[in-house]
Chain A
Amino acid sequence: MSKQKWEPKIVAFVCNWCTYAGADLAGTSRLKYPANTKIIRVMCSGGIDPVFILKAFERGADGVLVSGCHPNDCHYNAGNFHARRRWDLFHKLLDFVGIEKDRLQFSWISASEGKKFADVITKVTKDIIALGPFKTYQDMNAEFTTVFPEFAEAGNKEIAYEEEMTNG
């Protein structure tokens, strides 16, 4: 992405059966959408751990999209029902700690909804651009670590370890 202008970083956690295939269909139909979103594929939206989302924010994502099959269409029958309940709660929690609700969005996109996939990505990108860069996490982290310096050290170690893993 161009270096001059700020471009949001968005991560989409999608299930293998519906949304990933929907994204494929958007491609085969040659629909266009902004290039900011990177997809991470999991088998079922039921398997998306809230920690993944926190990790994404921690690693500088400005927005996160979670998408799976429509209720009742889940490849695994019920995985997405668990997902739905979990996300509802998690969304409220994020809201409670002061993270804008639109930073984390959910949608159901089936394998036949290529158009919907393109539309959702376009909308999410627009929303995140409107919200601007995501600083809350870093701010909160900074605030926290000034109060508890020992955690800062532990956190730095963790990041260093991750960096090492990534580079090593």
Chain B
Amino acid sequence: MKIGVFICHCGENISRTVDCPRVAHFAEGLPGVEYSIDYKYMCSDPGQKLIKDAIREHKLDAIVVGSCSPNMHERTFRNAAVSAGINPFLVEIANLREHCSWVHDDVEAATEKAIELVRMAIEKVKRDKPLTKIRVPVTKRVLVIGGGIAGIQAALDIANAGYEVVLVEREPSIGGHMSQLSETFPTLDCSQCILTPRMVEVYQHPKIKLLTYSEVVKVEGFIGNFKATIKKKARHINEDLCSGCGLCITKCPTKKKSYNSFEENLAFRPAVYVPFPQAVPNIPVIDETVCMYYKNGKCGMCVKVCDRGAIDFEQKDTMLVADIGAIIVATGYKLYNIEKATPESKYKGYGEYGYGKYRDVIDGLQFERIASASGPTAGEIKRPSDGKEPKKIVFIQCVGSRDPSKGISYCSKICCMYTAKQAMLYKHKVHDGEAYVFYMDIRAGGKMYDEFVRRAIEEDHVKYIRGRVSKIHEENGKYIVKGEDTIAGMPVEIDADMVVLATAMIPQDNAPKLAQTIGIPYDKHGFYNEAHPKLRPVESTTAGVFLAGACQSPKDIPESVAMASATASKAIILFASDTLEREPVVAKVNEDLCAGCFYCKKVCPFGAIEVRDIKDVNGIIYKEVAYINQGVCQGCGTCTATCLSKSIELAGFNNEEIFAEIAAL
């Protein structure tokens, strides 16, 4: 076998700490190596040409590239090899950048290590076998999880392209946080007015199957061939019979039994409710924890008033299974819980701001509801404690965000903008009111964004104070906000009637659990990880699973929508062909060696292993062996390590290949 070795300098990224010519020279002397060279940028066009020319000229059978991580350019080099006539699986990458030059300072030690890494790769490539990609069919149906603006946009784009969508929303209605907003920056157009038509479109679209009040409980399979199990929680209302008249809601006697979470607990709701008047679908749910029927078997008022007989107390949760080709995760965010710090919560509360203690210290979403024409005050700015119009209001930015001591190091990105928006809305509604904003920095990057903040300051005379607030306490119905003006260099004190905290955007509580159900990675906060921070921002590292909206990191509406359309196009690209190419890294049983113990069958996480009968010439079964379904096997290799008779091999990572790497150390 003739091997070519190509050592990349990566500009200076590798060559600064690794003596690349020496590595190339060393490799040249190794048995089997026909050709070895170093070059400034192997991944560049001339670099790839160099590889291709060398393959043809020296009739190479396999190549080793010493470069950046295989996660970066393995594909590039494999493609180059293929175009010069080499099987893509006879290409090995020695990771000289991420695993060597970038993590070591000492040139001697790094060069020695680079030499060993290259030697290991050479030994592996000698034993690599040519492999061909496996083709599997694609189910052309998308599962969208989360019905906020991101999920809605993704579902509509895909459905309009002609593919089926299953949209799963945990709450009784789609809409997400956008449905709670009053008006939106930077245009100040009404949030509901632009959102509701889209919600209705989702509901009426023949290609979209909408499952509200539902959750994804299990995901099996792989790209093109997922199987999702969805739990549809009992609404206790028959969806087919209910006409959405709402009589049950008006007659239910439990008017003030439960806080209305859509109104951010600024109002109450009865046991039977729709989250908000424009809800889609407009079908109520009965909250078992509040309903009197479930308490004492009495009441049943709703049954009496519902002339369609839609109330069904006996309704049970149901499970649905759907075949899915691609998954879009769009589960959004929640707001930092400032109520109180608990020993278990990793975030520390803001007790010093009195949230949860003073009723007029509220968070951003509560202000949105107060400012909303459909909200609990019908859009009039009134404070929760006594319903009076606040004449002096203080907004505090970065509550939680950019505060590692509270567990959050990142910037929530949208709070500068929505605080400016809320201060403007306040000034437009309370003409003689005073609005103050405490800020750390103003981060208003975006089209017309900085202009928007300037408008708040210059036209609406919102007073911006650069500095932090240390404490808020109550005195005679006023909230004394003590802080520091770091520009003037002196302490400030404002006796406010109401305080709005711009709390950090954090992942949904169940974000890690859902990630584990689907099998996608998440960061230390619980936001889902993209496959590449720059070049693959809407893909997860799991093939066929895409990310849209604020579940990936804090985002505003335009960004969420852009991301959603990007995920839709990713799914549509996937569906452009009927079959899918898969990496041929799959396990295979040597039937002669297999002892038929089926330990492998027990450990395979994908159920890829079946029992196959081996018959003699007379058709009599004389042996049972394991057989691995290549379409189902994902190539983890758990079976290979479990098999006692060593009769299973994982293509591309077989024992011989790994032993060779070990031996090359």
Q: How far is it, in angstroms, between the C-alpha of A20 and the C-alpha of B665 when the chains are bound?
A: 18
Number of A-B residue pairs, CB cutoff 8 Å, is 159
Once bound together, how far apart are the Cα atoms of A56 and B658, in whole Å? 10
Q: Which of B145-153, B164-172, B517-525 contacts A (4 or more CB under 8 A)?
A: B517-525
- Contacting pair B636 A38 (CB below 8 A): no
Query: Closest approach, in angstroms, between the C-beta of A121 and any C-beta of chain B?
Result: 9
Give the complex CA separation of A18 and B529 in angstroms: 12
**Number of interface residues, chain B, beta carbon within 8 A:** 56
Structural contact, B31 and A38, CB atoms closer than 8 A: no
Question: B634: CB under 8 A from chain A?
Answer: yes
**Are A27 and B116 neighbours in the complex by a CB distance under 8 Å?**
no
B98-106, B186-194, B429-437: which one contacts chain A? B98-106
One of A69-77, A94-102, A134-142, A147-155 at the interface: A69-77
Q: Kindly provide the distance from the CB of A29 to the nearest chain B CB, expressed in whole angstroms.
A: 9
Q: Answer whether residue A17 sits at the interface, using C-beta atoms and an 8 A cutoff.
A: yes
Chain A 24-38 near chain B by CB (<8 Å), digits 1 or 0: 111110111101001
Within 8 A of A (CB), among B305-347: none
- Complex partner residue of B606 from A30, A32, A76, CB under 8 angstroms: A76
Chain A residues, Cβ within 8 Å of B32: 168
Judging by beta carbons under 8 Å apart, are B606 and A166 in contact?
Answer: no
- The B-contacting residues of A in range 100-115, CB under 8 angstroms, are 110-112
Residue of B nearest to A57 (CB): B662
Q: How far is the CA of A43 from the CA of B104 in the complex (A)?
A: 26
Asked whether A52 lies within 8 Å of B658 as measured between CB atoms, the reply is yes
Stretch in B231-239, B260-268, B638-646 touching the partner: B638-646
Of the residues B97, B117, B642, B653, contact of A82 by C-beta under 8 Å: B642
- In angstroms, how far is the closest chain A Cβ from the Cβ of B552? 13
Contact assessment for A111 and B665 in the assembled complex, using a CB-CB cutoff below 8 Å:
no
Pick the contact of A49: B103, B113, B640 (CB < 8 A): B640
Distance of A139 Cα from B276 Cα, bound (Å)? 76
- Are A18 and B521 in contact, with the CB atoms below 8 A? yes
B638 with A111: CB separation less than 8 A: no
A92 at the interface (CB under 8 A from B): no
Contacting B at CB under 8 A, from A39-59, are 39-40, 42-44, 46-52, 55-56, 59
How many chain-A residues does the 8 Å CB contact rule pick out?
Answer: 57
Question: Which B-chain residue is minimally distant from A12 (CB atoms)?
Answer: B99
A1 to B108, CA, bound (A): 7
In whole Å, how far is A74's beta carbon from the nearest beta carbon of chain B? 8
Query: B660 at the A/B interface (Cβ < 8 Å)?
Result: yes
Closest A-chain residue to B648, C-beta based? A47
Contact of B120 among A40, A74, A82 (CB under 8 A): A40
Contact between A27 and B69, CB atoms less than 8 A apart = yes
Interchain CB contact under 8 A, A79 and B71: no
Contacts of A21 in B (CB 8 A): 71, 541
Is A47 in contact with B650, judged by CB distance below 8 angstroms? yes
Q: Knowing A11-B662, A56-B665 touch, does A38 contact B113 (C-beta < 8 A)? A: yes
A60 (CB) vs chain B CBs: closest residue? B665
Beta-carbon contact of A112 and B662 below 8 Å: no
In the complex, what residues of B have CB within 8 A of residue A118's CB?
103
CA A35 to CA B101, docked complex, whole Å: 10
Q: With a CB–CB cut-off of 8 A, which chain B residues contact A110?
A: 521
Q: In the complex the two chains form, is A82's CB within 8 Å of B603's CB?
A: yes
Q: Is the Cβ of B650 less than 8 Å from the Cβ of A32?
A: no
- Chain B residues numbered 85-136 whose CB sits less than 8 Å from any CB in chain A: 95, 97-100, 102-106, 108-110, 112-113, 116-117, 120, 123
- Most chain B beta carbons < 10 A, residue from A25, A52, A79: A79
Chain A interfacial positions (CB closer than 8 Å to B): 1-2, 9, 11, 17-18, 20-21, 23-28, 30-33, 35, 38-40, 42-44, 46-52, 55-56, 59-61, 72-79, 82-83, 86, 110-112, 118, 162, 165-168
Show 26 A/B contacts (Cβ-Cβ < 8 Å), sorted by A.
A2-B108, A24-B95, A26-B98, A27-B69, A35-B106, A38-B116, A40-B120, A43-B635, A44-B636, A44-B637, A46-B603, A47-B650, A56-B662, A72-B516, A73-B515, A74-B519, A74-B605, A76-B605, A77-B606, A78-B638, A79-B605, A82-B641, A110-B521, A112-B521, A166-B660, A166-B663
Having A23-B99, A112-B521, one finds 9 other A-B pairs with CB under 8 Å, namely A31-B103, A32-B104, A35-B110, A35-B112, A43-B635, A44-B636, A47-B641, A75-B519, A79-B637
